[in-house]
Structure 1
């Protein structure tokens, strides 16, 4: 698996930033984000369970440009 770095939240400072990568072999998105809080998790669970092999993360809306860039990278693969 070769990950291509696409972008990082530039407003998170040095506290660990939400980050987006594209897997160059599969064109899958790899997203690092903030852990969700209990209230958000409750709302997510209202739609269905979160399997043990999955997780839910939050990334800021200001990263839409980075996500769009990741979509473009995946389309090129």
Structure 2
């Protein structure tokens, strides 16, 4: 699997900070983020279940620029798939 990296949270000082990629084969977005707390999960559960193979994550607003760039590339790649 090949992923195109778009960036890490610019406000984070840690190496393990939130990040965003685009999967080169599927054009899917791939996110690394902070695991949501129980209150956030409870709010999400109001609209449906969270299966064991899924998770709720927080992505900081400071990553909007990287996410926009990733979205543009994902959209372009999805057109040719």
- Normalised by the size of structure 1, how large is the TM-score? 0.92
Deviation at 1:71, TM superposition (A): 0.9
C-alpha separation between the residues in 1 aligned to 2:44 and 2:61? Answer: 18
**What runs of 5+ residues in structure 1 fail to find an aligned partner?**
none
Deviation at 1:52, TM superposition (A): 1.1
**What runs of 5+ residues in structure 2 fail to find an aligned partner?**
none
- Normalised by the size of structure 2, how large is the TM-score? 0.88
Matched, 1:76 2:66: no
- Equivalenced residue count is 77
**4+ runs of 1 displaced by more than 4 Å?**
none
Provide the residue aligned with 1:31 in structure 2. 31
> What's the C-alpha RMSD, in Å, of the aligned pairs?
1.1
